[in-house]
Amino acid sequence: MKYRTLGKSGVEVSVLGFGCMRLPIQGGAENAADIFNPEKLIDEDEGTRMVQYAVDHGVNYFDTAYGYHGGQSETFLGKAIAPHRDKVFLASKLPVWMVQAPEDFDRILDEQLKRLNTGHLDFYLLHGLGRHFWEPVRKMGALKFLDRVLADGRVKHVGFSFHDDIKIFKEIVDSYDWEMCQIQYNYYDENYQAGREGLDYLAERNIGVIAMEPLRGGMIVDRIPEVVQDVWDTAPVRRSPVEWAFRWLWDQPDVAMALSGMSNMAQVLQNVDLAGEAQPNSITEEERDVIREVREIYRRMMKVDCTSCAYCMPCPHGVNIPMNFSLYNDMFMFKDPELNVMLYNYMIPPEQRASACTECGECEELCPQHIAIIHDLKTVHETLKGENK
Q: What is the pLDDT averaged over residues 331-357?
A: 82
Q: What is the pLDDT averaged over residues 75-94?
A: 97
Report if pTM > 0.85. no
Domain spanning 3-298: which superfamily?
Answer: NADP-dependent oxidoreductase domain (3.20.20.100)
pLDDT-above-90 percentage for the chain: 74
Q: What is the pLDDT of residues 182-196, one digit of tens each?
A: 999 999 889 888 999
In the chain, where are the structural domains located? 3-298, 321-384
335 phi and psi, to 5 degrees? 55, 45
CB 129 within 8 A of CB 90: no
Q: What is the pLDDT of residues 60-72, one digit of tens each?
A: 999 999 999 989 9
The DSSP bridge pattern shows strands 3-5 and 12-14 to be antiparallel
Residues making up the chain, counted from first to last: 389
Alpha carbons 146 and 106: distance in angstroms, whole number: 10
| For residue 199, pLDDT beyond 60 | yes
